[in-house]
Structure formats: C-alpha cells, structure tokens
Amino acid sequence: MMTLPAFLLALALLIAVHEYGHYRMAVACGVKVLRFSIGFGPAIARWRPQGSSTEFVLCVFPLGGYVKMLDEREADVAADERHLAFNTRPLSARAAIVAAGPLANLVLAVLLYAVVGWSGVQEAAAILASPEPGSIAAQSGLSGGERVDRAGLDAQDLQPVQSYDDVRRWLIRGALEGHDVTLELATKEQAARRVAQLHLSGLQASEVTAALYRKIGLTGPWTQPLIGEVQADGAAQRSGLRAGDRVLRIGSDAIGDGRQLRERIRASVQDGKALTENWSVERSGALLELEVTPELRQDGAQLVGKIGAYVGSAPTWVTIQRSPIDGLWLGLQRTWDMSAMSLTLMGKMLVGEASLKNLSGPLTIADYAGKSASQGLTSYLLFLAVISVSLGVLNLLPLPVLDGGHLMYYLWEWLTGTGVSEAWMDRLQKGGVVLLLMLMSIALFNDVTRLLG
C-alpha cells in the first residue's frame, strides 16, 4: 500500500531539489526564469509570488520537471531584456546553471546522510555470519561469529567499522576497484585481534552483481540459529518445532548460526525427495531430539527444502549517533563513496567489464521505496540519499540529453571559442535520446526479471 505514495513522494522531492538547483543558480546569475515546473501533464496548482517573474507549476505526473528560462533560441526576446536571457550570459554562468541541478542532488544526499547520523540509527553489528563453503571468505579463514573492528584496502591504513553496512561498503569498493580487503577481527574466544585478507582482486568486474556477496561468502550479519514464527500445519509444526527453539545440530553437523541453518534446510533434498534428519534442539534449557522432514519447493530450476517457519533471529543491533561535525563529515564521505562507486560501475558497464544487470529502473526503485518507507523514517531517508546520489551522478554523465552533455558542449566552446553548431547539436541530441531509451529499456527489463524471479 505504501509503495506508490512513497515512490511518488521520492520522485517529487528529488526532482524538485534538482530543478531548484537550476532555478537558484539561474537567478543568482541574472537570468530571468519564466517557469519552474514539477511534473508533466495537466497542472494541478500554479502560482506566481508577488514581485516574481517566475510561474511555479505542479503537474499531475511527477516523472520529471523543468526550469524554463528566457532564451533567444526558443522565442523572441525584447531588447530591454536581452541581458536577462540565458544564451547571452557568460560561459561560466551557463555552465554553473546547468551543473547546479545535479550538485543540488548531491548536496541533498549529504544532508540526508547527516540527518540520519545526527538522529541516530540502528544498524546490524559488524559480526560476520558463517561464510559460504568454498567462498573467498571461507578460504581466508573466516568461520563466523567474528566481529570486524577495522577494515580497508590498505592493511597499513585500516578504518574503524561501526556496523555491518560499513563492511558491505568495503566489499563493494574492493570488488569494483580490484583490491583485496583487509579485516581486523575480534572473537569472543580470542582476546587478541587477528587480521584476515579477502582476496577480491581476483574478481572480475563483471561479477559485481547482486550475487557478489554470495561469491565473497558474506551474505549478511551473524544471527542466532533460532526458530521463529511457525506456520500452522507446516513441516516445522508437524515435526514438533516451536518458536524459540535453538538448533544445535542437524545429523552430525553442528549449526553455528542462522545462515548455516537456512542453507542446511534448503539442501535437505536428495534424488528429488526431502531428507528426514535428526535435529538436536535446545528448548527452555532442555535438550530435545526431533526428526524433521522439510517440504519441497521449486526455486527456479532447483528443488529446495522449506520447513514453514521463520529461520534465524534478528541480528545484533547497535545504535550509531554522530555529533554535528561528525554527522556532516559522514554525509560527505558517504556521498563521495557512493558517487565514486556509481561512476566506477557505470564506466565498467560501458566497456563491458561489469554486468548490465546492475541497472535498475522505476519498478525496482518503487519497490525499494515502499519497503524502506514501511521500515520507518530512517530507512526511507537513507533510500532517498542513495537515489539522490544516483540522480546527481546520472545527470552529470556526458550524454547529450543530460546536464553532463550540455557541460560537454560548454567544454567544447571553451576549448575552441565557438559553440557546437545547430546541425551537430541536433544529431547529438537524437543520438543521446536513442542511447538513453536503450538504457531505460535494459533497466526496465532487469526490473521485470527481478520481480518475476
């Protein structure tokens, strides 16, 4: 129910900030703004502040927006207003007006990250789940339950880690940049810290997809191997399992955490039939032995086991709250890191080194908008920050129909002393539209594939 409202609110806010950046810079540079519009289609509200030459318009479909400025290339301009036209302003002013939109989105992201840091946010503690067998993490000697205190790409310059999200960011950065990631670990059993190195430099950039964490072997934070809510007449209930049971062993294998338990249940299939296995379970301090037979479910082309119960506990949570300066610095760091990673990934997709499956379109964004809004204000603000960075970076790309394309025109004008000819402008614009439509089609295809999968 929240998906559509959350998506439309996010679009309207981010587009309004983007266009406001263009508007404020235009006014500051002495350009007359005729209209500031959010959305397309029929207008549902319009107003003109007293003493202002700008008409503000809110339209039905918040799927875009524009700032219409006085410009001799679009309409006749009176002689006494020619100095207010966009095309008559100096090159530096025109470039500043164009760049102000994407930069406004990046500034918004900084502020959103800062607000979350100032208000305090609960994040999963940086305790590692047991790694996937044979994965990079398993080969690095990780076994699960280790707490990450510091991490980095340079073993001599490790940075403090406060939550599992920090670990994820280092993993993505290492994979994209082709660097190994060093983790400084602490465990309950060992007072002394130790160092583990994840050899991500061997990954191909094309492997940076949604399955990246599984290949590395770290799919989430550590959770307890508990049975949660049990469905009526499901395999768990028929086997005698109850909510709160702690699973100690399945057959001869010890179960260390929720990830191991989930994977073991999924793998309880042999020759197309569900395996019945003996489970050692702790319940209210007592040890029980139960025979559990999962139900078979189709997962793509694979048969997997399911028990009809929530498996694993919630992770350990930590509350992170920043001071005003630290919160602002966090916002700058997160925005910079997100921008750099986005540009790196886009560049690798452009040259075929990263999968185009990383592109997401409106359906995926709408899905994430609804999910983040349902999880609370903090999650929604973080979602807005990520999308705001993406919008800012996307618009700075040198595609003719985007702000970055216009900045490329101005770079040419600065280098040669003459602007791009109308004929070339027309060709470039048409080519940019075709390329953008291709990217949108791929993103929409990825959306549909994800949702149906």
For 316, which DSSP code?
P
What is the DSSP annotation of 378-442? HHHHHHHHHHHHHHHHHHTS--TTSHHHHHHHHHHHHHHSSPPPHHHHHHHHHHHHHHHHHHHHH
SS3 state of residue 105: helix
Give catalytic status of residue 289 as yes or no.
Answer: no
Are 316 and 327 within 8 A, CB to CB? no
DSSP 16-66: HHHHHHHHHHHHHTTPPEEEEEEEEEEEEEEE--TT-SPEEEEEEEEEEEE
Q: For residue 90, what are its two tokens?
A: 């100096």
Question: Tokens 């102000």 — which residue?
Answer: 100
DSSP label at 358? G
Pick from 188, 311, 210, 184: nearest CA to 258: 311
| Tokens of residue 424, six digits | 């070339």
State the CB neighbour count (10 A cutoff) for residue 47.
Answer: 10
Catalytic residue among 19, 123, 132, 277: 19
Going by their DSSP bridges, the two strands 194-198 and 277-283 should be labelled as unpaired
| d(C-alpha 381, C-alpha 21), whole Å | 20
Place of tokens 């001071």: 323
DSSP-based three-state secondary structure for 82: helix
Crossing angle for the helix pair 91-119 and 377-395, to the nearest 10 degrees? 160
Give the CA dihedral 294, 295, 296, 299, nearest 10 degrees. -90
Q: Which residues are catalytic?
A: 19
